[in-house]
Amino acid sequence: MAIESKATARFTRIGPRKARTVLGLVRGLKVARALDLLTFTRKTAAPIIKKLILSAINNAKQANAGINIDELYVTLGTADKGPTQNMRRWRPRAMGRATQIEKGVSHISITVSDKAPAPKGRVKFVADRQAARNAAKASKPEKTETAAQG
């Protein structure tokens, strides 16, 4: 039985695009490796996501006291756009006009699990292609030197 634990930070004052870049770094890694990586990442979202991972670990401990933290993986990480009605600003432009500046607000969620996530995207494509090549090599009969010369 896989144990999953989730932590969410809502109305975080960072743009979702900036948070997604850091989430892409840690998604699929073991928790210890992800925390080390976030400690030395110089992005604004790194400390926020680090706190979220620690919170998800504590949630997992709370749900199951006998869980081995060293075996947890960051299986899912999402950053969605939050409401910006209070964070709109206006910038004066030429000929008496104004343009709107939207300050980013995000809802960030992290899921940790004791089960390793399945590879997807480019990693899955490369692994599938390599498996197909190995299968093709295994099914081909090997040529002998006499057959190749004759």
Reported as a single tens digit per residue, the pLDDT across 100-132 is 998 899 999 999 999 888 777 777 888 888 899
User: Would you kindly state where each structural domain of the chain is located, as residue ranges?
Assistant: 4-116
SS in 3 state form for 39-75?
Answer: HCCCCCCHHHHHHHHHHHHHHHHHHCCCCCHHHCEEE
Mean pLDDT of 1-15: 91
Rounded distance between C-alpha atoms, residue 11 and residue 112, angstroms:
21
CB atoms within 10 A of CB 123: 11
Q: Decide: 20 and 79 in contact? Cβ < 8 Å.
A: yes
**CATH of region 4-116, choose from 3.40.50.410, 3.90.470.10, 3.30.420.240, 3.90.1150.10:** 3.90.470.10
pLDDT digits (tens, 9 = 90+) for 77-91: 999 999 988 888 999
Q: Decide: 60 and 5 in contact? Cβ < 8 Å.
A: yes
pLDDT the model gives residue 150? 55
Query: Residue 72's closest CA among 24, 30, 28?
Result: 30
Rounded distance between C-alpha atoms, residue 75 and residue 27, angstroms:
6
pLDDT the model gives residue 85? 83
Percent over 90 (pLDDT), the chain: 64
Q: Decide: 111 and 76 in contact? Cβ < 8 Å.
A: yes
Q: How confident is the model at residue 48 (pLDDT cuts 50, 70, 90)?
A: very high
Taking 60 as the threshold, does the pLDDT of residue 147 lie above it? no
Percent over 70 (pLDDT), the chain: 93
Interacting residues of 100 by C-beta distance below 8 A, sequence separation 6+:
88, 89, 90, 91
